[in-house]
Amino acid sequence: MHINRRQFFKVCAATVSGSSLATLGFSPANALAEVREFKLTRATETRNTCPYCSVGCGLLIYSLGDNSKNAPAEIIHIEGDPDHPVNRGTLCPKGAGLLDFVHSPNRLNYPEYRAPGSKEWQRITWNEAFSRIAALMKEDRDAHFIAQNDKGQTVNRWISTGFLAASASSNETGYLTQKIARSLGMLAFDNQARV
């Protein structure tokens, strides 16, 4: 079956991650004509969206490793998605450097804690983090929750703890965060759109 690259991607679009088809021997004819296989042909291709500005450029992320227990995926390359109607395969200088964001040495790896007056971080477990944060939040909420204002009106608000939400997190994260914040009675609640 002869198909070109563009048709190939259209077929692949029917699946979440198209290159499983490639592993079945179903790949564009011109790729098979290569003398030496590109590393990318062995990579898993995943569709994503650039996390920087709001153009929402389509990305293709390439990773090696088949995600089996001993072969976790390692992202090796990111480029613009040629099928995307807005960016049509292009990326700007920021998008072109995305691989270095993913692999930045400044990525955080573990939950950390800085004690009052301390000059350093200490590594803690997630359980320790959740327990201590939850205890601090509950203590503050219980002490300062305003059920009624001085006119006796029901107001049910908690304004002594605030929350700033991410502007690059997904809708799903944002929705969950909104639900949680309001269930706690939070009003000191904003996202990056404010600034």
Partner 1 sequence: MTNHWVDIKNADLILIMGGNAAEAHPCGFKWVTEAKAHRGAKLIVVDPRFTRSASVADVYAPLRAGTDIAFLGGVINYLLANDRINHEYVKNYTDFTFMVKDDFGFDDGLFTGYDAEKRSYAKTSWGYQIGPDGYVVTDPTLANPRCVYRMLKAHYARYTPEMVATICGTPKEDFLKICGMIAEAAAPDKAMTVMYALGWTQHSQGSQMIRTAAMVQLLLGNIGVAGGGMNALRGHSNIQGLTDLGLLSNLLPGYMTLPGDGEQDYQAYLGTRALKPLRPGQLSYWQNYGKFFVSTMKAWFGDAATAENNWCYHWLPKLDKGYDILQVFENMHQGTVNGYICQGFNPLASAPCKVKVAGALARLKYLVVIDPLATETSEFWQNHGEYNDVDPTAIQTEVFRLPSTCFAEEDGSLVNSGRWLQWHWKAADPPAEAKSDQAIMAGIFLTIRELYRKNGGAFPEPILNLTWKHRQPEEPSPEELAREFSGTALKDQTDPKDPAKVLLKAGQQLNGFAELKDDGSTACGCWIFSGCWSEKGNLMARRDNADPYGIGQTLNWAFAWPANRRILYNRASCTPDGKPFDPKRPLIAWNGAAGAWTGSDIPDYSAVSPPANGMGPFIMNPEGVARFFALDKMAEGPFPEHYEPFESPLAANPLHPNNGKARANPAARVFKGDWASFGSAEEFPQVCTTYRLTEHFHFWTKHAILDAILQPEQFVELGEDLARKKGIRAGDSVRVRSKRGFIVAVAVVTKRIRTLEIAGRKVHTVGVPIHWGFMGMAKNGYITNTLTPFVGDANTQTPEFKSFLVAIEKV
Give buried/exposed letters for 85-100 (b at 16+ CB in 10 A, else e): eebeeebeeebeebee
- Residue closer to partner 1 by CB (options 35, 115) is 115
> How many CA atoms are closer than 13 Å to the CA of 107, on its beta-carbon side?
8
What's the closest the beta carbon of residue 11 comes to partner 1, in angstroms? 11
- Residue closer to partner 1 by CB (options 29, 86) is 86
Q: With contact defined as beta carbons under 8 Å apart, do 3 and 32 qualify?
A: no
What's the closest the beta carbon of residue 35 comes to partner 1, in angstroms? 28
What's the closest the beta carbon of residue 33 comes to partner 1, in angstroms? 26
- Residue closer to partner 1 by CB (options 26, 77) is 77
- Residue closer to partner 1 by CB (options 32, 148) is 148
- Residue closer to partner 1 by CB (options 35, 54) is 54
Residues 37 and 184: their CA atoms lie apart, in Å, by 55
What's the closest the beta carbon of residue 186 comes to partner 1, in angstroms? 7
Q: What angle do CA 63, 67, 68 make, to 5 degrees?
A: 150
Q: With contact defined as beta carbons under 8 Å apart, do 14 and 31 qualify?
A: no
CA 87 vs CA 15, 34, 42, 62, 81: distances in Å: 21, 27, 25, 18, 7
Q: Is 22 helix (H, G, I), strand (E, B) or coil?
A: helix
Tell me the Cα Rg of the chain. Answer: 24
- Residue closer to partner 1 by CB (options 36, 107) is 107
What's the closest the beta carbon of residue 159 comes to partner 1, in angstroms? 6
